């Protein structure tokens, strides 16, 4: 592992460790048939593991645009440092049913560089892409989802 990449991975891991809140919004674009527009916020519990991975357990409330009531949400994501990347997987249905999403790689050698998916994640006919941008006191995660029925942007702000 090169020193600049190792330093970037360590810096990102420190950002991940300090996370305690999440805010997110979802916005369907032209052509999307989901109608999944809204905003949510919640709490993040970070758990460390012996293999140096971190688990984010997220929970809170989400409100669809135009709705009067919010709904509860819960997600579990695992961040696993690798030699030249940080892998992101979704564990909402448990560790045994984890879905490997992305290997995020830094766009530059600095520890404040953006991170992008090495490859898009394909789920059935939908293609997922993600970009992580370091921010003061945390990071932002921008998702795009494209498919026959979906054209959506998700924006997560972790602090």
Each residue's pLDDT tens digit, 41-53 = 999 999 999 999 9
What pTM value is reported for the model? 0.91
Instruction: Please tell me the total count of domains within the chain.
Output: 1
Quick one: pLDDT at residue 1? 53
Quick one: pLDDT at residue 36? 83
Quick one: pLDDT at residue 127? 96
Q: Are 144 and 153 in contact (CB under 8 A)?
A: yes
- Residue range(s) defining the domain that contains residue 52: 3-158
Across 101-107, average pLDDT: 95
> Which token pair is 152?
């959506």
Among 110-114, 134-138, 145-149, the range scoring the smallest mean pLDDT is 110-114
68-103: pLDDT as tens digits: 999 999 999 999 999 999 999 999 888 899 999 999
Q: What is the DSSP string of 78-129?
A: EEEE-SS-EEEEE-TT-GGG-EEEEEEEESSSSTT--EEESSPEEETTEEEE
CATH number, residue 131: 2.40.128.20
Quick one: pLDDT at residue 40? 97
Confidence bin at 30 (pLDDT 50/70/90)? confident
Quick one: pLDDT at residue 111? 64
Distances in Å between the alpha carbon of 86 and those of 89, 124, 125, 145, 156? 10, 24, 25, 20, 18
């Amino acid at each position: 592992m090169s020193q600049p990449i190792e330093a970037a991975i360590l810096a990102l891991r420190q950002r991940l460790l300090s996370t305690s809140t999440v805010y997110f919004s979802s916005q369907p674009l032209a052509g999307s048939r989901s109608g999944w527009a809204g905003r949510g916020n919640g709490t993040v519990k970070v758990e460390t593991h012996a293999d140096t991975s971190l688990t984010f357990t997220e929970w809170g409330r989400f409100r669809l645009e135009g709705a009067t009531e919010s709904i509860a949400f819960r997600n579990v994501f695992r961040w696993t440092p690798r030699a030249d990347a940080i892998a992101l997987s979704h564990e909402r249905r448990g560790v045994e049913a984890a879905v490997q999403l992305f290997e995020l790689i830094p766009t530059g050698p600095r520890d404040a560089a953006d991170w992008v998916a090495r490859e898009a994640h394909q789920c059935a006919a939908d293609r997922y892409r993600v970009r992580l941008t370091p921010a003061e006191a945390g990071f932002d995660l921008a998702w795009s989802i494209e498919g026959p029925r979906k054209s959506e942007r998700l924006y997560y702000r972790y602090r």
